[in-house]
Each structure stands twice: as structure tokens, then as C-alpha cells.
A and B are shown apart, each in its own frame.
Chain A
Amino acid sequence: MKTAVVTFPGSNCDRDMWVALRDVSGKEPVKVWHGDADLPDGLDFIALPGGFSYGDYLRSGAMAANSPIMRSVVAAAERGVPVLGVCNGFQVLTEARLLPGALMRNAAQTFICRTVPLVVENATSLFTSAYTKGDTIHIPVAHHDGNYFADDDTLDRLEIEGRVAFRYAENCNGSRRDIAGVLNESGNVLGMMPHPERAIEADHGGSDGRRLFESVIGSLVGA
């Protein structure tokens, strides 16, 4: 099994993501730099971490979505390789059009940094199979632009297709329909604003995020 964490200039959760993946998978993930043209061969999982890539210039995630490595990430996602984008990584995935919608400035205009309750809406996906539908889990958020927007038709389609992975139990940022995380059509790309990689050890603010990594790593065992 081979996993990778992509670092953009301004990423700041790449190490936490790396540690989470290492702890759960037992293998050290490959570190990939945004300027690399190609991903290492044979990757089974790619994570785009949180942070402030390119200083959030233009729009959060817009510049990173157009960086050299993203062409390879898009191609890998289209081949079915699982891709997880957390926080800024979610913003990058929407800007790269791997996921529908956009992340706008929080409704209250403020940066939010606290642990929030989430409801697991889909417990059959690659990323969420270790949870139970309806579970309430506690995961930290830390963002300024987490206000999920998509038009009504897109939202309806996401709901019908079971592509809302997580919802905020209490809407903290104005996201439409309380959406905290969404899946792509094939179910191999997940974007979410909350940080599961910050919740993998009971001694460090809880371990509710660990099952997300166990789900996806579990699906790769043998790979």
C-alpha cells in the first residue's frame, strides 16, 4: 500500500495528515511537492491537506488547483484512486472541479477554530464505512472559508445520490443544508472542512477522525 500527502506552499496540516496516515496504515506516506509534475507510481491513496495554499490568493484553493501536481491528481482521481481533501484540500478539490460547489467566506465573517459535532450521513463510502449512519462524531474545524455553496439542483442531486458524507449537527459557517463533506459521483473523492487528522488520538482531543482513515486504509489492505 502506498499513500501520499501533497504539500503546497502554505499548507500547514500536511504533517498532521502524514502522521495520521502513518499511524493508521503502519507505513510512511510519500511526501509530494506541488511543483512536481508527476505523482509517484502506484499510489493507492492521495491526501490534500489543510492550510492556506498560495496565501488564499484570488480564492481559497484556486491557485493550488492549477499547480503542476494537480493535473496528475485529477488524472489519478479519474482512474479511481481515492483522494481526500481536508479544509484547504476540500477548497482545492472544488476549484479543480473534482467536487461540485464552492467554499465561501463563513457567514459570520469570522475564522472558526473549535471542535464541532458532525452527523455521519453516508456510512457506506470508501471513507466512512467504519462509522454508522447517524453517528455523531466530534472533529475540529479551523477555517475562514468553509461556507459550502452549490445551487439547488446540485444539492438535490448530492442528497439523492447519497453524496453528503457529513453534516454539521450545528451549522457553524452558513453551509447550505449543513453540509460539511461531500463525495464525488464515483465515491472515490471526499472533501470535508473538518479535520479528521486532528482527531486520531484520545490524548489529543479525541479519536473520532481515526475511523475515517481506518475505513479508507482498510479498503486498501492487500493493495
Chain B
Amino acid sequence: MKVRIHVSLKPGVLDPQGRAVHHALEGLGYKGVEDVRIGRLVEMDVADDTTDAALDEMCQKLLANMVIENYRIEKVA
């Protein structure tokens, strides 16, 4: 089973990288970009019988830092 873990910064956590990229997009002349937040995508190939609970645990123990990040699990196939 292919799984994508989308890790993103929690709302309210300042994202200096996102801000710098936002600034760079404006510098390139793109108008109307309201906000940029940078996250991380982790693609995994896991055994088909991997439980949701196990995936949650992987995210909470290692893949995301729950102090500053949220995660979303997407099962691709």
C-alpha cells in the first residue's frame, strides 16, 4: 500500500521559509499570492495490513513534531 503523509505547520506557527518564498514569488511578479506555507511530503510503501493506528503512531512519534506540525494521511492505492 502506498501512503502519503502530508506534514504541515500548525496554524499560528510562523513559517519563515514560507514568508521568504512568498516574498520571492512577489519578486517574480506574481500577483495575488495571499500566503505561502511550506510543509513536507513523506511517501511510504507499507504492508497492506498496516493499521490506521500504526500509521498515526508513526506520524506522532517521528514523522511530525506535534508541537508545531499537523499531519494528514492519504492512502494512494
Contact = CB atoms under 8 A, between A and B. Distances in A.
Given A105-B16, A105-B17, A58 B62 contact: yes
Interface residues of A, number: 20
A95 B20 contact: no
Interface in B6-25: 13-14, 16-17, 20
B37 to A, nearest CB: 13
A151 B17 CA distance: 20
Given A58-B62, A62-B62, A147 B67 contact: no
DSSP class of A's interface residues: helix, strand, loop or mixed?
loop
Interface string B40-74: 00000000000000000000011101011000000
Contacts of B62: 58, 62, 66
A171 to B, nearest CB: 13
B67 A94 contact: yes
Given A58-B62, A66-B62, A107 B67 contact: no
B16 A95 contact: no
Interface of B is mostly: helix
B20 A104 contact: no
Q: Could you say which interface size class chain B belongs to?
A: 10 to 19
Contact of B16 (A59, A66, A107, A150): A107
B17 A101 contact: no
A102 B65 contact: yes
A149 interface: yes
Contacts of A108: 16
Contacts of B68: 102, 104, 149
A62 B14 contact: no
A32 to B, nearest CB: 22
**Which of B13, B14, B16 has the most chain A CB atoms inside 10 A of its CB?**
B16
A94 B16 CA distance: 20
A108 B20 CA distance: 9
Nearest to B42: A58
A174 B20 CA distance: 15
A8 B68 CA distance: 24
Given A58-B62, A62-B62, A66-B62, A174 B14 contact: yes
Interface of B: 13-14, 16-17, 20, 61-63, 65, 67-68
16 contacts: A58-B62, A59-B65, A62-B62, A66-B62, A95-B65, A102-B65, A104-B13, A104-B14, A104-B68, A105-B16, A105-B17, A107-B14, A149-B13, A149-B14, A151-B67, A174-B14
